[in-house]
Structure 1
Amino acid sequence: MKRLHKNLGLSRRAFVGVFLSGSILSKAVAQAQKRRIAWVTSKTSTADASRVEPFRAALLAKGWTEGKNIDILWSFAGDKNDDIDAAIEEAISQKPDVIVAETTGIIVKLKRLKEKSAIVSLSAGSLEGADLIDSINKPGRNVTGNQMLSADLIFKRAELIKELLPNATAMVFLEPLTPAALMQRSYVDTAALAAERYGLKFKKLSVRNPDEIEELYRMLSADRSQVVLVPSNPLTVNNAKSIVNSSIRHQIISIYEIIAFVKVGGLISYGPNRDKFPLVAADYVDRILHGVSPGDLPIYQSSDYEMALNMNTARELGVQIPHNILARALEIID
């Protein structure tokens, strides 16, 4: 050490000063290189843990460690009195490199705010239907990620109605009219086509708040040959038990998108396996942080569908579940 400062013509004090300055500069450079990710969902932090932990673990496996080379802002609207706007504003205020957004409605809000960061969908309904991408194979803009809905899935649900209730006359689509639960026109149009293919009338009934759900089922109870399709979004998921209770109370069969409804008494769910969604989101975030444009990453659509049944509810509704449906069920609650 002594020889080094002598050769450089530096005093010990000057050398220490240069050394410390270099250390501070290195830390500043490292801090500047740290990437920012924002996670925006409608859920509470507790309810979202089943997606947060796999996402975090997948990033870690790819070399991204919180506090070291990435910072993640976890913005849960459920922890902010369900104020999705507050969650979005909190996220974009951090100027993230990538935003992981739960729903189509959240992404639409981000786009209206002219957000230019890369956006990765966690579980959006239909990105294409909301005109957020150019195409499934080449999104072409700053949005990519998971998409839950496909024409194939909507037609399969219509087919399931006829299998479950051969004398069904109508498919009723429950459309939540809330900012975070945007229902795209293409979704509704495809559902109408699916109903027509299977000889069902198509009805669309809109709800703006939880109080309208009971009235909707009471109105439908005059004709039990109608089957309700209940989509998965903040309004329906947060009021799953109320929807299920209304369905049973008024003896109306409902088909749900996710197993969470069946676990609180819903008759049947049929939808994509969501376990891969956080992993796909992490993979896309990793690629984007390594320089890949989100517009070049094809939309992920799961072809792995799963069905769950609640036999207690089937008995309450007086529904005889056909053997071919029982054989396809991944989970049966009895």
Structure 2
Amino acid sequence: MAGDLILITGVSGYIGFKTLVLALERGLKVRAVIRKAEQAKKLESHGRVAPHTKNLQWVIIPDLSKTDSFDPYLKDGVTGILHVASPLANETDDYDRDIISPAIKSTLAVLNAAHRAPSVKRVVITSSAVTLVSFAWMFGPAPPTPDLTLFTAADIDSKPAKASSAMEAYFASKTLARIATKEFMEKEKPSFEVVNLLPTIVFGPDELATNIQELMTSSRRVVLSALMDVKAPEMVGATVHVDDVARAHIDGLKSSVPGNREYILSSDVPEGICWEDAENAVKRNFPEAVEKGIFKLEGSMTLRPWRLDTTETEEAFGWKPVSFEETVRELVKQYLRFIEAEKK
């Protein structure tokens, strides 16, 4: 694999940037897709990217949904594509136009371009474990007794309801893109293979964050705030470390990982995570921070069980994901480093 030329979308984002770093560190040559030229300077100056710029090419594609947008960049022996980019759950007055449709169209643009590029052997796509369940299951009130269904990668919400929020639109976009991928592969029967990755809630340290404000976004904000004094909203009890998601993208290119398959990425399976593990990790590893009141441990997070079967994932990839407790520990370490930096 080292020395192979691959193309990666979404490199300016949380998962995509970590995937770019790991690809370069493993000796791959990368064509990194960005939408704006100015993004390149920031990304290539990063300490983990700068030593590998000889193996890095920047590709500017303002609109990933155009059907022929990738064709010019899959020449010269590109063997793999990592399609990480996807519209975020930002509020808008048109969920279909700004979230759902671009996700489906960009995925199909990648697949069609790969179909026209004989050198491409494998396409790895960032989907989501939210595609396994319905809106009602994910967003509805918790049932009076826990749902102990064991979900597998064969499950899918085949007909998502009409989205009434940006988050629902994001989930629908992932589901419909996953369905579109299946239909494309069945109809076109391309020479390349697809690996669809289905991560649960992704968090952990952020390689691109330079201060506390940048770190305290998305799922990281929820976890860190609950370790202080915030009673966080209910969430499903399934997470995965961002490093494991990035690692699965790179490993998904290997012929040893069965292709034309879908893999759930989640830690602490099948039962899911326990919030007490986060608090105990902080008490054990950062007693001074607790004593100083940096982490008051007066918050809480209600977790709903989400039982997931990742047996096929562990067999195919040959490794177990980082535990929730270890993920929390690494995130807290980054947070404390930023606190120390602000004091200087």
TM over 0.5: no
Q: What's the TM-score, normalizing by structure 1?
A: 0.38
Could you tell me the TM-score, scaled by structure 2's length?
0.37
Higher alpha-carbon Rg: 1
